[in-house]
């Protein structure tokens, strides 16, 4: 049975999935020789390059960070609680599919309202049970909003409109599990890029894509 290859689980502006083959031409020879075992990416986003390198090269530890608190929360939930997250995502998929197309925007807006209202109840510094539904909301909104954008207004509220898709694949369960497996080698932090400096040694692949 062929194992699922981990890939980005969200849409993300500036994602590099389509450029991975081109990037391969610029990898250092030490990576191909198995001498580079540490990977650092302080502007994580969709994580396409991390998933590619961690599955095809001898990467044994990764430091991944981003300034987007809900993005990092979601990565940490997938890393530590993938099956519980899948339960919530299955409910969102079922509800979206069973909702008449004319009423799906109302469903989206209701989830968005809850997502914004609950942001003050989240302790982003310590993983807790309320992180799991929060991560599910984040993924649902990403897959059903316009073009997978993530945008906050001056109040810190997510304000991207509904995408008006005829169908929406909220999640891919085998991929979520594959992503969780890939993330087991990673330290994941909500942090500024400057925090990564002390994570780098001579055997580190650093990818900067602000």
Q: What digits encode the pLDDT tens for the residues 140-187?
A: 999 999 999 999 999 999 999 999 988 999 999 999 999 999 999 999
What pLDDT score does 17 carry?
86
Q: Is the pLDDT of residue 1 over 60?
A: no
pLDDT, mean of residues 123-136: 96
What pLDDT score does 121 carry?
94
Can you give the residue ranges of every domain in the chain? 28-206
Task: Label residue 2 by pLDDT band (50, 70, 90).
Answer: low
Q: What digits encode the pLDDT tens for the residues 92-115?
A: 999 999 999 999 999 999 999 999
Give this prediction's pTM. 0.95
Task: Please name the CATH architecture into which domain 28-206 falls.
Answer: Orthogonal Bundle (1.10)
What is the DSSP annotation of 139-198?
HHHHHHBGGG---B-TTS-B-PPB---S------HHHHHHHHHHGGGEEEEE--GGGGGG
Percent of the chain with pLDDT over 90: 91
What pLDDT score does 86 carry?
99
Q: Is the pLDDT of residue 195 over 70?
A: yes
- Please provide the average confidence, as pLDDT, over all residues in the chain: 95
């Amino acid at each position: 049975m062929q194992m699922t290859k981990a890939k980005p689980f969200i849409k993300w502006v500036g994602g590099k999935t389509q450029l991975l083959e081109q990037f391969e031409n610029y990898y250092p020879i030490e990576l191909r020789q198995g001498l580079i075992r540490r990977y650092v990416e302080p502007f994580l986003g969709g994580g396409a390059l991390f998933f590619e390198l961690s599955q095809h090269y001898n990467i044994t530890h990764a430091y991944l960070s981003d300034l987007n608190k809900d993005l990092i929360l979601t990565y940490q939930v997938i890393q530590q609680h993938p099956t519980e997250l899948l339960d919530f995502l299955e409910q969102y998929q079922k509800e979206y599919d069973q909702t008449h197309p004319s009423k799906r925007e109302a469903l989206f807006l209701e989830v968005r309202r809850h997502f914004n209202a609950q942001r003050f109840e989240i302790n982003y510094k310590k993983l807790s049970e309320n992180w799991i539904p929060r991560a599910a909301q984040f993924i649902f909104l990403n897959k059903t909003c316009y073009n997978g954008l993530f945008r906050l207004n001056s109040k810190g509220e997510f304000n991207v409109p509904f995408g008006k898709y005829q169908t929406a694949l909220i999640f891919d369960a085998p991929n979520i599990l594959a992503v969780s497996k890939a993330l087991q080698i990673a330290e994941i932090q909500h942090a500024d890029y400057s925090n990564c400096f002390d994570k780098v040694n001579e055997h580190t692949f650093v990818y900067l894509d602000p």
